[in-house]
Structure formats: structure tokens, C-alpha cells
Amino acid sequence: MRVVSKARLRQFWGLTGHQDAGGPLRAWHTHVNSKTVSWRSWGDVRVSFGGANIVGDCTVFNVGGNKYRLISWIRYAARKVFVLKVITRGEYDAGAWKGECGCFGAPPPRKPAPSKRPTSGRRS
């Protein structure tokens, strides 16, 4: 699978009071981003992470001994895991993240692929 984006993980563990999340989030990223991981369904995710849950269109991973929650979108066909948010268990339980992450809305629109035609050297 390919994890998009590690920057959100780094941003979270860089916050004051969350430095202890660095190790578990790095371990999660290393495992999921491995070329040997090829999830094709929710069942495959559960084999790797028994504590993961589906919430709307999102997959929520328990990280750091159940202290943190990593909220993601998994697109199995594209082999991508999009990191939406990392929050504390308290923030997760409060539930405000559900409206912020879009887990209960329509997926974001797909951007059209850029044209692959050369832009210079065309003959008229």
C-alpha cells in the first residue's frame, strides 16, 4: 500500500505532549507503506490491525496502546491509504472529528488526469 501523507503523522507527533506518538506512528507507517502489504478488502485490514474500525467511509486505527486514533480513507483498488487526521482518544470520543474528516459525506471529486500530449513542437 502507499500511505498519503506522512507529513500529517509528523505534524501530530511534533506537537507538544504528543512526542510519544512518534514511535507507534512510524511503526504503523512502515508496516502499511510496505510493498508487501496489499490490502484488497476490510478483512485484510483486520488481519493486520485487529483494533481497526470502520466509521462511515473511514477506517480508524488505534495507535499507541489505544491512546491515539489515526483516521484514514483506504482506496483498495488504487492501493492507497490517505491519512486524514491523528487525534487523541479523548478527541475521538468527543466526536467532532466526524464532521471535519468527511467520513460520512461523498468522497472528494476525482481530479482529471493531466494530458500526456507534448505541448511544444507540434506541427500545424
pLDDT tens column, 78-122: 999 999 999 999 998 888 888 887 777 665 566 666 666 655 555
Q: Which domains does the chain have, with CATH numbers?
A: 2-98 (3.30.2310.20)
Whether the Cβ atoms of residue 90 and residue 96 lie closer than 8 Å to each other: no
Whether the Cβ atoms of residue 23 and residue 10 lie closer than 8 Å to each other: no
Phi, psi angle pair for 58, to nearest 5°: -105, 160
Q: Give residue-wise pLDDT tens across range 17-37.
A: 889 999 999 999 999 998 899
Q: How far apart are CA 17 and CA 34, in angstroms?
A: 29
Q: How far apart are CA 21 and CA 19, in angstroms?
A: 5
Does this model's pTM top 0.85? My answer is: no
Q: Give residue-wise pLDDT tens across range 41-74.
A: 999 999 999 999 999 889 999 998 889 999 999 9
